[in-house]
Amino acid sequence: MTNQSTVTEFLLQGFSDVRELQILHFVLFLVIYLAALMGNLLIITAVALDHHLHTPMYFFLGNLSFLDICYISVTVPKSMVSSLNNTRLISFSGCVAQVYLGIHFASAEMALLTAMAYDRYVAICHPLRYRVIMTRGACAQMAAGSWISSCIYSVLHTANTFRLPFCGSNVIDQFFCDIPQLLKLSCSDTSMNEIVVIL
* Contacts for 193 with CB less than 8 Å, ≥ 6 apart: 160, 161, 164, 179, 183, 186
- Distances in whole angstroms, Cα of residue 13 to Cα of each of 10, 73, 79, 176: 10, 19, 10, 8
Of residues 131 and 82, more confidently modeled: 131
Question: Could you tell me the pLDDT band of residue 58, with boundaries at 50, 70 and 90?
Answer: very high
Q: Say whether pLDDT at 68 is over 60.
A: yes
Q: Say whether pLDDT at 121 is over 70.
A: yes
Question: Could you tell me the pLDDT band of residue 6, with boundaries at 50, 70 and 90?
Answer: low
Q: Say whether pLDDT at 69 is over 60.
A: yes
Of residues 6 and 59, more confidently modeled: 59
* Strand-strand pairing, 171-172 and 9-12: parallel
* CA atoms of 115 and 133, how far apart (whole Å): 13
Q: Which of 90-94, 118-122, 182-186 shows the lowest mean pLDDT across its residues?
A: 182-186
User: DSSP string of 22-84?
Assistant: HHHHHHHHHHHHHHHHHHHHHHHHHHHH-GGG-SHHHHHHHHHHHHHHHHHHHHHHHHHHHHH
Domains in the chain, please, with CATH? 10-198 (1.20.1070.10)
Question: Could you tell me the pLDDT band of residue 5, with boundaries at 50, 70 and 90?
Answer: low
pLDDT of residue 3: 46
